[in-house]
């Protein structure tokens, strides 16, 4: 398999904009997949080429092994995304995806490629540790946590066959997120600007824990707080798109 074919496994490009001045790479949340970012790709505008990441083990990659270590996943993503970053680029990640966006950004900064912007959504800073062990619980524990986050269509809970496919992915990703710890070997602290996006009632991160992202970059940090929980971004999609457009417009002008 060529490097191009490997790269294509990881990237979904729903609305190709080859002449766009900036590329935005979007990292899904735990249990999430690339189509979660279809609305972003469709609506962000003609100046941004959106790449949605598809992790192994889900949808069209369901035959591939799941990866339960975010450092391993970040290493794989950095190699897969490298061919795409031939112009100014930015990262957006929600929840587990925010941690991955940060770790992949560190790896690119170590290679001399600095993201123009890193958007981290619905996730506490790497320095803010919690003892979370949902991934060690039974199915009822995981389902209860999924319901608490309100990010899953409730009809799915009544479909045993679908849940049988979904739960191993959720458990894997919960393990990856809950066992993550920042390593010095991942690369330098960021120099790129960071935009923090958080719901004010997020059970996975307090506002203070999210504001601590300031400690992980020497660049400018801007914090936006929205009413809502972990999936506040669905309710406030238009507001988030405005924030992203404005930040990325500065990249295209610069």
Q: Which sequence positions are flagged as catalytic?
A: 95
Distance CA 162, CA 169 (A): 12
DSSP assignment of 98-165 equals HHHHHHHHHHHHHTT---SEEEEES---TT------GGGS-HHHHHHHHHHHT-S-GGGGG-HHHHHH
Distance CA 90, CA 209 (A): 23
Q: Quick check: 51 and 84 in contact, CB under 8 A?
A: yes
């Amino acid at each position: 398999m060529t490097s191009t074919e490997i790269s294509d496994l990881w990237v979904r490009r729903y609305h190709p904009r080859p002449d766009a001045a900036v590329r935005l790479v979007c990292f899904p949340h735990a249990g999430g997949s690339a189509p979660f970012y279809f609305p972003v790709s469709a609506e962000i505008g003609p100046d941004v080429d959106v790449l949605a990441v598809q992790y192994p083990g889900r949808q069209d990659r369901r035959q591939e092994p799941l990866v339960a270590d975010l450092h391993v996943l970040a290493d794989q993503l950095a190699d897969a995304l490298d061919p795409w970053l031939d112009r100014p680029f930015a990262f957006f990640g929600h929840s587990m995806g925010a941690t991955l966006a940060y770790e992949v950004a560190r790896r690119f900064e170590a290679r001399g490629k600095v993201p123009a912007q890193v958007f981290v959504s619905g996730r506490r800073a790497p320095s803010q540790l919690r003892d979370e062990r949902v991934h060690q619980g039974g199915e009822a524990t995981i389902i209860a946590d999924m319901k608490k986050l309100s990010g899953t269509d409730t009809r799915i809970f009544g479909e045993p066959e679908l849940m049988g496919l979904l739960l191993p992915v959720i458990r894997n990703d919960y393990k990856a997120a809950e066992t993550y710890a920042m390593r010095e070997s991942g690369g330098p602290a960021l120099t790129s600007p960071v935009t923090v996006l958080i719901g004010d009632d997020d059970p996975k991160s307090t506002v203070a824990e999210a504001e601590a992202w300031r400690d992980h970059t020497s660049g400018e940090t801007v914090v936006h707080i929205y009413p809502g929980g972990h999936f506040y971004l669905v309710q406030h999609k238009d507001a988030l798109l405005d924030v992203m457009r404005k930040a990325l417009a500065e990249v295209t002008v610069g």
